Chains A and B, each alone.
Chain A
Amino acid sequence: MLALAAACWLPVVPAAADEPKAPVLPPALTKPAPENVEDLRAIQEQVKLVLKKVMPATVGLRIGQSQGSGVIIDKEGHILTAGHVSGTPGRDVTVILPDGRTVKGKTLGSNRGIDSGLVKITDKGDWPCVEMGSSAELQRGQWCVATGHPGGYRPGRTPVVRLGRILNVTRSVIQTDCALVGGDSGGPLFDMTGKVIGIHSRIGGSIAANMHVPVDTYRDTWEQLVKGEVFGGRGEPYLGVEMDPESSECRVARVLPGTAAEKAGIQVDDVITRFDGQKIETGDDLRAQIAKKKPGDEVTVEVRRGDETLTLKVTLGRR
């Protein structure tokens, strides 16, 4: 039932190694749950293969007085990290390799909306790297491995390994039960073939609320990130709702205080059916429509609330 990311590998924007064939994963990894010790053992063997590939490429990052994690994805030393770790482009970075060696780098671009960021090692070298996978085809229940430096890099401690499963995926976020904490930000999430599928970004109160930036966004915005552009987030048109990821419709799970949505009277559990006259069926539809607008634009939003259909006037804010 679980489609595997390996089967839908997409070319990586930075020169990617040739992929001979999608590796075949043991059936234990695609079962809804391991049924016995043999299944557990099969998962364990696969984790071992993944770690062999990924541990050397997992790095710690020190930027000013902040610490985060990252992963090297090409021999030139490009490092995927979180936008809130890389921050402003052009800053000096101390990259800490798993053996404790430090090398120099610079911050490049970031997307403040989705929280993607890029760093490049500036020292000369042939850097250990991992491949970027694809996040578009990830399925709930897929096993995944997280590495990183919780609490920041600590001498004598190798990158900290966690095993978990994918609990939710959208175009803008992956949720897993690989527990994360401060310092992990920017660290990598891998599929069971050892390819990066996400970058650690943020957590919620539950031990299962660990959010990762989907790797596809790095590929989609690669040029901007490499050029050192800061984009997304602030300055973009903003409605101020969070959608319910479990709903097949565009159902509001949360209205953020002080936002356009709150001022317009949008409420939790409203289903947004039209935005500026355009039909809305999913959260992605809504985001696409909002992205076409500018802060300050006045639009009509049609919502279904219980049996009623309401038309609300919204003045879009700025993120």
Chain B
Amino acid sequence: MRMPASLLIGTRRHAWGVVLVLAVWAGLIASPARAQGPATYLRSSPKVLAAFREVVAKPSECTVRVKCEGQNVALGTVVAADGWILTKFSELKGTPVCRLRDGRELEACVVSVDERYDLALLKIECTGLTPVQWYDSKVCPVGNWVACVGDGEEPAAIGVLSVAARAVPVGRTPPPTNPSGGYLGVGLDPEAEGARISQVMPGSAAEKAGLKVNDIILAVDGEEVRDVDSLIALLQRHKPGDVVNLTVKRGDQELEMKATLGKRPASANRADFQNSLGSELSKRRTGFPTILQHDAVIKPADCGGPLVDLDGRVVGINIARAGRTESYAIPSETVQSLLGQLMPEKITAPRLLEK
């Protein structure tokens, strides 16, 4: 299958009633399906992953698989030898089961939870496990290789550290520039002459009015639409609930349509759409107060395991596949301090190593 379209990747936060999603790029573009053909070239090709075996050999001893209702839902990181395991909380349902390296599957109970970091501390009845050794995430500077330890001989994913550990202001969402602007809900083809519709958002004013892909919007309330920009300017004058008269060209026909502009829904955000392309994202992927950002394409069900550098040093716990370009880990130094609160008093939290 060939990918028909490629998307322009500017970020636009306009309050106009038009979302410029799905810009069809006409030209000589490589078709991704084929581009993956010579898999040897990919950064994460099997050969490259194989070169990481040695890197994850040791830390994989402190990694377990976490299953719920028979499904792999996460990985877990052993934090103390007598059965204490950290994992990603929001993926759990029912009674979690931990599969150890030796194949044993043991039921776990959830001892404590930190909801901000989405971490759960599990306890299994078991001794003699290999606990993780934490390293301050500073030992792994930006650009260094990182491997997401999995439950096999090879890493679950590999990449580089994209951004060093940082505090993220919680609940910070970009304010819409004009939240009261009317929303039509169409994507426009920037390569076409005039305002040709390339996408009609489901449930939008455009869909309700009966607009279709390839329709060309000629006028709004009798005023001529020359191009994408003039359509935006015309719609920007309106508020949600306003009724606009659209003159539309469909094939050889010219149609008059009435559209009741809606509110711009959060899901019409082009950033959300683009972030969803190419990899499955974790359900809970925001709101962690401190994160380590890397570019390994990790599966949501492989979160909860250790993130290591080339020396196999555990610099964090993977907590979310967060977007097309980003995966998040909780830095070791943060996890280490959380453990003090998560672990019952009698357990001494493992020490943090500097080097």
Interface residue ranges, A against B (CB under 8 Å): 32-37, 39-41, 43-44, 47-48, 50-51, 65-68, 82, 84-85, 113-115, 140-141, 145, 150-152, 156-158, 160-168, 170, 172-173, 175, 177-186, 200-209, 211, 233-234, 238, 240, 242-246, 253-254, 256-259, 283, 287, 318-319
Least CB separation from B55: chain A residue? A37
Number of A-B pairs, beta carbon distance below 8 Å: 263
Can you list 18 residue pairs at the A/B interface with Cβ under 8 Å?
A37-B54, A37-B55, A40-B55, A40-B145, A65-B13, A67-B10, A67-B11, A113-B27, A162-B160, A166-B41, A177-B43, A179-B278, A179-B297, A181-B274, A202-B23, A204-B32, A206-B3, A242-B27
Instruction: Kindly state the separation between the CA atoms of A162 and B193 in the bound complex, as whole angstroms.
Output: 36
B26 touches A319 (CB 8 A): yes
- Chain A's nearest CB lies how many Å from the CB of B22? 11
- CB contacts (< 8 Å) of A51 on chain B: these are 142-143
With an 8 A cutoff between CB atoms, is B293 at the interface?
Answer: yes
Nearest to B324 among chain A residues (CB) is A181
Q: Which of the candidate stretches B84-92, B161-169, B254-262, B333-341 sits at the interface with the other chain? A: B161-169
Interface status of B8 (Cβ within 8 A of chain A): yes
CA–CA, A162 and B297, complex, Å = 11
Residues of B17-62 at the interface with A, using a CB-CB cut-off of 8 Å, are 23-38, 40-45, 47-48, 51-52, 54-55
A173 with B27: CB separation less than 8 A? yes
Given contacts A48-B141, A66-B10, contact A168 B35 (CB under 8 A): yes
A114 to B25, CA, bound (A): 10
In the complex, the answer to whether A243 meets B28 with C-beta atoms within 8 Å is yes
Q: How near does chain B come to A123, taking the closest CB pair, in angstroms? A: 23
Interface residues of B (CB under 8 A from A): 2-14, 23-38, 40-45, 47-48, 51-52, 54-55, 141-145, 159-164, 166-169, 174, 177, 190-193, 214, 270-271, 274-275, 277-279, 293, 295, 297, 310, 323-326
Instruction: Give the CA-CA distance A40 to B11 in the complex, in Å.
Output: 34
Neighbouring B residues of A145 by C-beta, 8 Å: 143
Q: With A185-B10, A206-B33 known to touch, is A177 a contact of B42 (CB < 8 Å)?
A: yes
**Nearest-CB distance from A1 to chain B (Å)?**
11
Q: Select the residue from A202, A234, A243 with max chain B CB neighbours within 10 A.
A: A202
A82 nearest CB neighbor, chain B only: B10
**Contact of A163 with B143 in the complex, beta carbons under 8 Å:** yes
How many angstroms from the CA of A231 to the CA of B159 in the assembled complex?
38
Chain A residues with CB under 8 Å of B297's CB are 179, 207
Closest A residue, CB atoms, query B15: A65
Most chain A C-beta atoms within 10 Å of own C-beta, residue among B34, B37, B55: B34
A140–B324 touching, CB < 8 Å: no
